[in-house]
Structure 1
Amino acid sequence: MERLIEQTPNQIFSSLPAALQRRLMTSMKQSQLPAGKILFESQEAINYLYFPMGCVINLIFELDDGDEIQVACLGAEDICGGALISGSKKSQLRAEVLHAGTALLMPAKEALYWFHNEREFRVPILKSCSRIEHQIMTKVACNRFHTIQQQLCFWLLEVSDKIQNKVIDVTHEHIAGLLGVRREGISEAAHKLQLQGFIDYKRGHIKILNRKQLEQLSCECYHNLYSSG
């Protein structure tokens, strides 16, 4: 138990007092989440509050006609399923694992109990939810006002940060679907970045070669969300 708590990389859970972590762990489990796994669908009940440890989770908004767009990217500094605390029984978004890894899972009933009865749990959860809300608003504005190349640079930097790796296993088609743009637009933007020597890509893999240049080409959204750490 102590060993697991000490090694937990989720920043929200790790920020809690050790004594509280031990109490929480009695009702939690650690689970391996594979890429592509749906944690909950839109309009579906949220059964767990997730504390990502190595995985990256996308929150995706879906339209009635089938179109969809990524509105948040969650990693070890976040929680997933925070809509629980608002009293909502169903999610308005789909949560899907982008990058495989582990997470701590807390049953919804337990999460609500601790949220309402333990201030040291409630405060960091509220702060995390506020950051995620800010991220959602930023991504909506980014998609509306910034170029595909700016969005691609932002996306690559963000995901690379969260997985702590310069190599991202993803296709152009998948990125296009998440950003709500045409695949040809992503392929064209990626090709230009590759010609400039900023990235290298083969089918299903993108490697960042020059991070500083990507930061310069990215829109202010990345810097506003992450430059302060």
Structure 2
Amino acid sequence: MKSTEIDFPTETLLEQKNHLLLRIAEDERQSVLAELELHDCEARHVFYELGAPIEYVYFPQNCVASILTVMQDGTAIEATTVGKEGLVGLPVFLGDDRSFQRAVCQVPGQVWRMEVNTFKELLGESAALKYELGRYTQALFFMVAQSSACNRLHTIEERCARWLLLTHDRVDQDQFHLTQDYLASMLGVRRASVNEAAGSLQKAGYIRYRRGVITVLDRPGLEAAACECYRVITDEFTRLVGLV
């Protein structure tokens, strides 16, 4: 990742898009912002690896991260998605310095980075940061639980639409890079199944998919094609941490 120099705190406030940070009370937010570094993050960048020490926590601006569960044979499937609503590095908040999952950048963009030791110190000093992270953790646990049921009960096309909507919510534009291989890995299905589902959504005019780039053309149509889980997850995030 490439680092971008920021003159704190004025420019940071102007550039800030991470909802979790924006929800911290103004008097406590300044001390948090002063410890952040802004980085450009490329697709497939690994934030931390399975079983490895976590050295930094990350607050996405407009990039999207996937938290992956990795099996013994190396197969990985997405457990949850993290964007501008949250934090990559939640195990540190919960008291662990190592990850039982892999975190990778799914959609490129910018992210705020903070050293783990600094983050721990701030948790002891900022009640507001601790409170907002607690509510975010609850929202994320709910998302994981709902997604587990979704993966068992709903069609690949419905799940694909849900996943695209959740990603669309977390980026600043209607177009984002995403290969079919990667989407298949995220959904835990064969590429042929993703190709069929994406083709159906494209034929309906909801999306356009060309050369690894997804363009959302009809947001209401895509929402109608998704299962109930998209709205349920979004409503719970809205209740706990504000609009995504």
Pairwise CA distance, 1:212: 1.3
Q: Which residue of 2 aligns with 1:133?
A: 141
| Residue 32 (str. 1) matches residue 32 (str. 2) | no
| Residue 107 (str. 1) matches residue 110 (str. 2) | no
- Cα deviation 1:131-156 (Å, max 9, x = unaligned): 11111222222112211001110011
Structure 1 unaligned spans of 5+: none
1:62-101 aligned within 5 A: 62-101=70-109
Pairwise CA distance, 1:83: 0.8
Aligned residue for 1:129, secondary structure, equals helix
| Residue 152 (str. 1) matches residue 134 (str. 2) | no
Contact 1:5 1:21 in 2 (8 A): no
Pairwise CA distance, 1:65: 1.6
Q: Which residue of 2 aligns with 1:213?
A: 221
- RMSD over aligned CA atoms reads 1.5
Contact 2:12 2:33 in 1 (8 A): no
Aligned residue for 2:72, secondary structure, equals coil
Aligned residue for 1:30, secondary structure, equals strand
Contact 1:52 1:78 in 2 (8 A): yes
- Cα deviation 1:24-48 (Å, max 9, x = unaligned): 2343222211111000011111111
Contact 1:49 1:107 in 2 (8 A): yes
The number of residue pairs the alignment matches comes to: 229
Give the alignment's TM-score, normalised by structure 1. Answer: 0.94
Contact 1:71 1:135 in 2 (8 A): no
| Residue 12 (str. 1) matches residue 34 (str. 2) | no
Q: Which residue of 2 aligns with 1:203?
A: 211
2-structure distance, mates of 1:130, 1:158: 17
Which amino acid in 1 is paired with 2:155?
T
Q: Which residue of 1 aligns with 2:187?
A: 179
Pairwise CA distance, 1:61: 0.6
Give the alignment's TM-score, normalised by structure 2. Answer: 0.88
Task: Give the percent of matched residue pairs that are identical in Structure 1 and Structure 2.
Answer: 26
1-structure distance, mates of 2:35, 2:198: 45
1-structure distance, mates of 2:60, 2:203: 35
Which amino acid in 2 is paired with 1:12?
L
Aligned residue for 1:114, secondary structure, equals helix
Q: Which residue of 2 aligns with 1:169?
A: 177
2-structure distance, mates of 1:150, 1:74: 20
Structure 2 unaligned spans of 5+: 1-7
Pairwise CA distance, 1:207: 1.8
Pairwise CA distance, 1:104: 1.4
Q: Which residue of 2 aligns with 1:193?
A: 201
